[in-house]
Structure 1
Amino acid sequence: MPLRIVFAGSPAAAVPSLRALIGSDHEVVAVVTREDAPLGRKRILTPTPVADVAQAAGIRVLKANRITPLTDEIAALDADLGVIVAYGGLIREPLLSTPRLGWINLHFSLLPRWRGAAPVQRALIAGDRMTGAAVFQLVPELDAGPVYATVSQSIGAHETAGHLLERLSVSGAKVLVNVVNDLRDGMASAAEQVGEPTLAPKLELADGLLDWTSPAAELDARLRGTTPEPGAFALLADGERLKVLDATIARGDAGLPPGEFELRAGRLLVGTATEPLHLVTVHPAGKRAMPAADWWRGRK
């Protein structure tokens, strides 16, 4: 028989999973998502991407920034399984045991590596070559439950956190539905996590700071790991904060002292501890995004 599912999720990364469950043999009886948030320059209250999809499908939507107060409402749904994908809040007892089969979580890393809120970003910043997604049984400890299934993917040399998360959200959704099917059929088997855990705490604004005394490879990894959020930036000598939207390692170019800018053949380079970085697109404070070379010419 199809399972009755409560789905909890909020951002765009959770949408492929919700769509896959809606399109499956199972019944999504309710969706829990975070409350509408003010977005854009006009700060207009906007539903989460998950809320939009659920409402369009005619599914009951429960909006809350904390899921625990909804325990009684969720219990009344008589769900077989809870599924959580990037909801943005913790599930604790007694809600954890409320659905008959408990809760499963799609997490965007190969557990136990990168437990926490920002696994994709932390993997990129650390320079990982491989990552993936894992479906595991939720337990009280953070991202520590036994794993039902994983999918592994290589990280592209120029891939940002935004692009990688979008890719993993699609491949992970397929794995998630397979696990739900196995739980329905009584065929699911989960294995305890093996290896030393690493943590992936939520990124702060300071995580995007580009320190030109670092090697170019580390700066490139930090830029890609903090794009699009919270964004990479440099602090210039006069105190100006410069957002860096796109850059590449200038392999083969002559070096520059760390932090020194130079225009070469129409390209703006900045020195690091190793090779220079070629700044492609920047966003100066109070201005629009622009080619880095144009910004430098105007600044001089």
Structure 2
Amino acid sequence: MRITLVGSRHFGVTTFNMLRQHGVDIVRVVVHDGEDRLAAAAKTAGIEAVVQANPKFVAATEIAPDTDLIVTAHSHARVTREALAAARLGGIGYHPSLLPRHRGLAAVEWTIKEGDSIAGGTVYHLADRMDAGAIAAQEWVFVKKGETARELWERALAPLGYKLLGDVIDYAKTHKNLPAKPQDEQFATKAPALALAKH
């Protein structure tokens, strides 16, 4: 399975390493910044790294030829419809909430702010609307009393992301398609960036 990985930072690098352990062929890495640690990891592994022409979007030309699946990991760029069409199975991303709850950039912060006792992670199909694509995999975790957003992310939600992405990749390798369950729009909530949100 040929994968184009779009991402950045620590979560991008650890997803990169996890994908390689799952025996897929990462054919290209797409980053918004050529100095990003994910670009450095790709270069070290001898994998092509491409910098987005526009940091807000991933264009079809930035997806490697013959890509089976686009995977995003800590990318705030929207993968365009044309880019998704360039991959046989489209694209998936990980969102640190139980979608459709907390759609947006600050899902973990809103989980804490709203006092949720249960959080979770979702691997979802990339779509035109932010965090609104069909669900490929989802699992919940408890939130500890007094836990900060960063503590919750590091303790539970980041590790859950690697596990769920790995599960979906393994499913796609076996079945040559992706699970897809539509999100229930009546439960959708927004998680816009908070003024002081640090992640």
TM value normalised by structure 2: 0.89
Aligned-pair identity (%): 32
Moved more, 148-157 or 98-107: 148-157
Structure 1, unaligned runs of 5 or more: 37-46, 206-225, 231-300
Cross-structure match for 1:21: 19
Distance 1:73 1:188, change over 3 A: closer
Q: CA RMSD in A?
A: 1.8
2:174 to 185, 202, 206: 185
Alignment of 1:1-300 (within 5 A): 3-36=1-34, 47-64=35-52, 65-68=55-58, 70-74=59-63, 76-167=64-155, 168-186=157-175, 188-194=178-184, 195-205=186-196, 226=197, 229=198
Contact 2:69 / 2:88 at 8 angstroms: preserved in 1?
yes
Task: Write out per-residue CA displacement over residues 187-226 of structure 1, whole angstroms, 9 at most, x where no aligned residue.
Answer: 6421111241001112224xxxxxxxxxxxxxxxxxxxx4
Higher relative contact order (CA 8 A, sep 6+): 2
SS at match of 1:132: strand
Larger Rg: 1
Q: Which amino acid aligns with 2:130?
A: L
Looking at structure 1, the residues matched to 11 and 189 of structure 2 have their Cα atoms a distance apart, in angstroms, of 22
In structure 2, the CA distance between the partners of 1:124 and 1:14, relative to structure 1 (3 Å rule), is: farther
Deviation at 1:77, TM superposition (A): 2.3
Per the normalisation by structure 1, the TM-score is 0.61
Given that 1:13 and 1:166 are in contact with CA atoms closer than 8 Å, whether structure 2 keeps it comes out as no
Q: Gapped runs of 5+ residues in structure 2?
A: none
Q: Which residue of the partner structure matches residue 240 of structure 1?
A: none
SS at structure 1 position matched to 2:78: coil
AA matched with 1:196: F
Verify the 8 A CA contact 2:60 2:80 in the aligned structure 1.
Answer: no
Q: Which amino acid in structure 2 is aligned with residue 117 of structure 1?
A: L
Offset, 1:78: 1.4
Q: How many residue pairs were aligned?
A: 194
Query: In 2 relative to 1, CA 35–163 (structure 1 residues): closer, same or farther, beyond 3 Å?
Result: same
More helix by share: 2
Mapped to 1, the partners of 2:123 and 2:154 lie a distance apart of 17
